Amino acid sequence: MLTNLFKTKTDPSPANGNSLQDGLDLTNIPCHVAMIMDGNGRWARAQGKPRTFGHSAGARALRRIVKYADSIGVKILTAYAFSTENWKRPVTEVDFIMKLLMEYLTKELDEFQKYQVRMRFIGTRDGLPEAVLKKMDAAVMQTKDNTGILLNIAINYGGQAEIVQAAREIARLAVDGELSPDQISKEVFEDHLYTRGLPAPDLLIRTGGDLRVSNFLLWQIAYAEMWTTPVFWPDFTPELFKQAVLSYQKRDRRFGGLTKKE
């Protein structure tokens, strides 16, 4: 039901005379785009800079993409900022990413209000520093009535852990007699994922050249169209985002069925 709230409704008029929108079918914009923003470290190293320099540039790239995605009518952007596996990185890099996130959530808020961006987070709160959690909660609260794009940041996120957690919650309901095993359906399961209430991603973008899913939205990407580029995330531009959407618009999404012609 909630899914209908996110149906793409786009005013086609901005297409006129704007090269970043030229050629796009504004009636077929992916409603939900998920992004694996990979390559920050390699981007920085290629310039002889510390990996953290790449993360700062990555945060700036995300800002540009949020604005552009909103301008073409994307309703939800889910960005993979920190995985449950990223704790394995050196503590200095982890601390830097946490600080960057806090800075992002502070500095960006005025802009978010201007562009009516709404914020949400997916992932587990366990293990995240209290100060980060406070900033996240404040950002959600302060943007909750905004009417523009939903920026959904995956932080301390792991797809397998998300599924295990959903199974655990459902098992508890069953043990308490609130749900019988026969009542467990796809919809019930989805109600226990972090993404509850959101439609599944239509398009999954991965930068940085690797061709893997990296434990991102394992359940939700079942029918997502994939688009990858060797470009490192800090160099990812609205023009490239547009290329991904153009590619999406050429796809024949069958969801396991047949095309209308067949």
Q: Which of the residues are catalytic?
A: 38, 86
C-beta of 21 vs 207, nearer to ligand FPP? 207
Mapped to the 3 state alphabet, what secondary structure does the chain carry? CHHHHHCCCCCCHHHCCCCCCCCCCCCCCCCEEEEECCCHHHHHHCCCCCHHHHHHHHHHHHHHHHHHHHHHCCCEEEEEEEEHHHHHCCHHHHHHHHHHHHHHHHHHHHHHHHCCCEEEEECCCCCCCHHHHHHHHHHHHHHCCCCCCEEEEEEEECHHHHHHHHHHHHHHHHHCCCCCHHHCCHHHHHCCCCCCCCCCCCEEEECCCCCCCCCCCCCCCCCCEEEECCCCHHHCCHHHHHHHHHHHHHCCCCCCCCCCCC
C-beta of 114 vs 172, nearer to ligand FPP? 114
- ∠ CA 34-16-10, nearest 5°, is 45
194 contacts ligand FPP (rule: CB under 6 A): no
CB of 126 to ligand FPP, least distance (A): 19
Does residue 159 contact residue 215 with C-beta atoms inside 8 Å? Answer: yes
Residues paired with residue 78 on neighbouring β-strands, in sequence order: 34, 152
Report the residue from 24, 33, 81, 119 that binds ligand FPP according to the rule CB under 6 A. Answer: 81
Residues 17-56 vs ligand FPP: string with x where CB under 6 A? --------------------xxxxxx--------x---x-
208 contacts ligand FPP (rule: CB under 6 A): yes
C-beta of 59 vs 170, nearer to ligand FPP? 59
C-beta of 30 vs 41, nearer to ligand FPP? 41
Q: Which of residues 210-249 bind ligand FPP (CB under 6 A)?
A: none
- Applying CB under 6 A, which part among 25-33, 97-105, 215-223, 240-248 lies near ligand FPP? 97-105
C-beta of 97 vs 204, nearer to ligand FPP? 97
128 contacts ligand FPP (rule: CB under 6 A): no
CB of 145 to ligand FPP, least distance (A): 22
C-beta of 139 vs 166, nearer to ligand FPP? 139
Does residue 194 contact residue 169 with C-beta atoms inside 8 Å? Answer: no
Report the residue from 34, 59, 122, 166 that binds ligand FPP according to the rule CB under 6 A. Answer: 59
CA atoms of 3 and 5, how far apart (whole Å): 5
86 contacts ligand FPP (rule: CB under 6 A): yes
**Total chain residues near ligand FPP (CB under 6 A):** 20
158 contacts ligand FPP (rule: CB under 6 A): no
List contacts with ligand FPP (CB under 6 A).
37-42, 51, 55, 58-59, 62, 81-82, 86, 97, 100-101, 104, 153, 208
